[in-house]
Amino acid sequence: MTLGYMEELKIRRMREEDLNKVLEIENLSFSNPWSRNAFLFELVNRGISYPIIIEKEDKIIGYSIMWIIGEESHITNIAIHPHYRKMGIGKFILEKLITISKKRKAKYISLEVRKSNKNAVMLYEKMEFKLIGIRKNYYTNPLEDALIYLKQI
C-alpha cells in the first residue's frame, strides 16, 4: 500500500447515523458482536469514550472505540471491513489512537485480544505493545482467553 492510500483515509467521531454501517462491520468482524445499544452508550458517554470512524471516499470502512480515563487509554474495539483488511489500516488506526491518547495526556494504552487472533497479535507486538497478562475465558462464542497488552506512550 502506498502512502497516498493512507492520505485518502479520514478519521472522525462516530455519530448515531453511522451505526447501521458500524453494526454491519461489527457483525462481519466478531463472533459475539456488540448491540446497537452498546454503541449508543459509547456515543453518549463522551466523558471517557472516544468512538471513531475510518472513512475512504466518504464510505465507512472501519471504526474503533477507546476509553480515556486519567492516564490510561483502553482500546475496547477495532474493526475493519473485511474488504479492507491486510492493507495497513489497523496500524494506521493504532497510530491515530496513540496520538489522540498523548494529546489527552494518557501515559499508557491497553487492550485485550483473542489469543487466536494472530494477525492482531502480530500488529500489536510490531507496534511495541507488551503482553502483560491473560484473562482466562474472557471471550465467549467460542470460549477463549484474552491476551492483555500494554504500551507506554
Active site residues: 112, 124
Q: Are 97 and 51 in contact (CB under 8 A)?
A: no
- Alpha helices by DSSP H, listed for 9-117, are 19-29, 36-44, 89-103
* Backbone phi and psi for residue 28, each to the nearest 5 degrees, phi listed first: -75, -20
DSSP strand pairing (72-80 vs 108-114) = parallel
